[in-house]
Structure 1
Amino acid sequence: MASAPAGQIIDTYWNGAIEAQESLPPSIPRPQLWHWHDWTDQTWAYRSELYEYVAADTVAMHAVITAPLNMPADWWTSARTALQNITTIDTARVTVQPGFLAWAMPRYLGISASDYTALPWAPAHGDFHFANLCAPALRILDWEGWGLAPAGYDAAMLHSYSLLTPDVANRVQHELAHLLATPAGRYAELTVIAELLDAAEQGINRELTEPLRRRAATILGRSAVAAGGSG
């Protein structure tokens, strides 16, 4: 079920699930969207969606990981395959707005997004964290925000949300090193960090603030990334 004030619908998120159903290949493990229905009243628009039932639980209840996880090797193999298949989708949808990065990267990281324009972008799930991933058989939920983002964005998000549990963060780095341990992957991490620091400033997952700053400092080769974008 989705709702939004009439006249204020953000198409990227409002239509994301439908466009995923129409665009994503069967090789990407996800619940099928079978039906949807729209209606409005004088001030609000509504959409109901009927999905295929998924019996498996999500890996975690929340995006921010605060306890160890023990995912088997074959789950990580499935995740790597799915992430590769996502990047092959043909789309003009955009998950990360360049204008936001032009504003947020100087503010939160003390860097300019224009320094990274030569690095590739690719289709991404856009909200790839353990609360949207099922196990033991991988299913990827919540496709509302998928679209183009810096290459490696999904792996970077999984890593950033795991920073409070170093063993999990280290496992993500190890299993997804082909995406993260590259110039593009480091830029993707900085992108996610800027987004999550902006969210933390608004009161969302504030507990990630210091780990995110420390991670950004490591990527940038600094001793610290301070609040407000000073390095």
Structure 2
Amino acid sequence: MNSSSRPADLTGRWHQAVRYFRMSVPAHTPLRPGLGGRTLGGPVTTTEGGPAWLRVMSSPRPEGKLWDGAVLADDLLDDAVPHPALLAVHTWQDAGAAFQAHVWEQLTGSVLSPTPDLTSASPPAVTAGWWRDLRAGTAGIRRTPVPPGREVVTQAYIGRIHRFVPGLAGVELTARRWETAHGDLHWANLTRDPFQIIDWEGWGAAPEGYDAAVLHAYALPAPGIAAKVREVFADVLTGETGRLAELVVAAQVIQAADRDEPHARLRPHVRRHAARLIQHIQRSASARHSTRR
């Protein structure tokens, strides 16, 4: 997103938060908007002289899953899930909107991708150790208790995904197993050297395999990385539960494709992948039916 499409108030609110925390900002500091323009972040220097990252988010009201997510994650995640520490929080309301500023420890690693999706031209170069850290980190997420009412996706939404993914008539759309998920585990929210998982506003309960399904969907334009995701997460992506998680993520990508470029780029890839999943489901159902005859 370029600066002209950024919500007009967030740059001012970001600098307002800088003044509140009595931080300093290097000259000509670039600020990075989040997808959809709901957040704005940039590097700062704390009063102790250390580097940090300041992120401001806006919301119609000071409540809800996204509003509470970062603080709850900082409280509940353990060391098995590498993530930046939350140093300070400030909330305020003005002009009919609510704002929240988070000060995070500065990342020492590099983000794998400037956008959530990958391309075949620039797949991330990561080691076997990085994949092991990713697998261990997601296992730690799955073990984290979810506060009541925190959901990445609901069963009601899952029941409606046929609106976005053709061919789902007759396919069972009930998520029978749920687990804790980051909820936005794409390639712009992962770092290397060291490995960390960032951006925790939306975490909560999701169908089993959801995080792996997100990672896979956003890797589809880079077939080699997508194949590695399928290998590393084979136990959660195969079978009925994994296929449902992938169909849910496909529906979310297709639904968001009219709103931003990354999802528009992903839409043809996830449509083709969803069609393959549905063909597999139909073949499996036909085989079961033939066996019972």
Q: TM-score, normalised by structure 1?
A: 0.89
After superposition, the CA RMSD in angstroms is 1.9
- Equivalent position to 1:79, from 124, 134, 140: 134
Match of 1:108, SS state, is coil
User: For residues 256 and 63 of structure 2, what CA distance do their matches in structure 1 show?
Assistant: 18
**Deviation (angstroms), 1:114:** 8.1
Please report how far the alpha carbon of residue 18 of structure 1 lies from its aligned counterpart in structure 2 after TM superposition: 0.6
Q: Is the 8 A contact 1:108 1:198 kept in 2?
A: no
Q: Which residue of 1 aligns with 2:273?
A: 215
3-state DSSP of counterpart to 1:19: helix
Kept in 2: contact 1:13–1:144 (CA 8 A)? yes
Q: Which has the larger radius of gyration?
A: 2
2:221 is the alignment partner of 1:168: no
Deviation at 1:63, TM superposition (A): 0.7
2:151 equivalent to 1:94: yes
* 1:77-156 correspondence to structure 2 within 5 Å: 77-91=132-146, 92=148, 93-111=150-168, 115-117=172-174, 119-156=176-213
Secondary structure in structure 1 of the residue aligned to 2:160:
helix
The residue that corresponds to 2:118 in the other structure is 65
Note if contact 2:113-2:187 (Cα within 8 Å) is conserved in structure 1: yes
Q: Please state how far the C-alpha of 1:112 moved relative to its aligned partner.
A: 6.0
Structure 1 residues 18 and 112, CA gap change in structure 2 (3 angstroms): farther
Q: Greater RCO between the two (CA within 8 Å, min separation 6)?
A: 1
Deviation digits for residues 108-163 of structure 1 (CA, Å, limit 9, x no counterpart):
23326982325311000000011100002210000000001111111110110011
Q: Which amino acid aligns with 1:198?
A: Q
Q: Cα deviations across residues 160-202 of structure 1 (Å, max 9, x unaligned)?
A: 0011111111111112212212321111111100100101144
Amino acid in the other structure paired with 2:264: R
Q: Which runs of 5+ in 2 are unaligned?
A: 1-55, 281-293
User: Partner amino acid for 2:278?
Assistant: L
Matches within 5 A, 1:34-49: 34-49=87-102
1:28 aligned onto 2:81: yes
| Residue aligning to 2:236 | 179
Aligned-pair distance for 1:55? 1.4
Query: Paired residue for 1:51?
Result: 104
Residues 159 and 174, structure 2, Cα contact 8 Å, conserved in 1: no
Other structure's SS at 1:115 match: coil
- Quote the offset at 1:203 in angstroms: 4.5
- Contact 2:155–2:174 under 8 Å retained in 1: no
- Do the aligned partners of 1:61 and 1:131 also contact (CA within 8 Å) in 2? yes
Q: Is the partner of 2:165 in helix, strand or coil?
A: helix
Letter in structure 2 aligned against 1:145: G
Check conservation: 1:29, 1:138, Cα contact below 8 A. yes
Percent identical residues: 33
TM norm structure 2: 0.71
Q: Any conservation in 1 of the 2:178–2:207 contact (CA below 8 Å)?
A: yes
Amino acid at match of 1:139: Q
Counterpart-to-counterpart distance in 1, 2:142 and 2:189: 18
CA distance in 2, matches of 1:125, 1:59: 17
Against the structure 1 CA distance between its residues 118 and 12, is the aligned structure 2 distance closer, same or farther, given a 3 Å change threshold? Answer: closer
Structure 2 CA distance for aligned equivalents of residues 49 and 128 of structure 1: 20
Answer whether contact 2:108 2:194 (CA < 8 A) is retained. Answer: no
| Residues 83 and 112 (structure 1), Cα distance of their counterparts in 2 relative to 1, 3 Å cut | farther
CA–CA distance in structure 1, aligned partners of residues 250 and 210 of structure 2: 11
In the alignment, the residues of structure 1 paired with residue 164 and residue 236 of structure 2 have an alpha-carbon distance, to the nearest angstrom, of 26
Asked whether the equivalents of residues 86 and 104 of structure 2 are also in contact (C-alpha less than 8 Å), the reply is: yes
